[in-house]
Amino acid sequence: AMGAGGNGQTIYSSTCALCHAAGVTGAPKPGDKADWGPRIAQGKDTLYKHALAGFQGKKGMMPPKGGNTSLPDADVKAAVDFMVDQSK
């Protein structure tokens, strides 16, 4: 496992890209500003909470920690930061 605060892009690639790279079942693609704009507007705390605890949205189901529940919280947050940075 990655250490706390590990590289967001690495975590994204190993745990999140599975759904988010292709937009499977409605997962917002990094770089898709139209999809990410309103999500980013919710604030980072909400994005972190949804990524950590999971969330049922209008487009689909975000599983807690992307299904990798052994991931440290800091790693999930780093992956969120990466996705947001790609999408501003």
Q: Where do we find the tokens 């590990």?
A: 6
Q: Which strand (E) or helix (H) includes residue 55?
A: strand 55-56
First to last CA, the chain: 28
Query: Which residue has its beta carbon closest to ligand HEB?
Result: 57
30 binds ligand HEB (CB under 6 A): no
Positions 40 through 59 that interact with ligand HEB (CB under 6 A): 42, 46-47, 50-51, 55, 57-59
Q: List interacting residues with ligand HEB (CB under 6 A).
A: 15-16, 18-20, 25-28, 39, 42, 46-47, 50-51, 55, 57-63, 65-67, 76, 79-80, 83
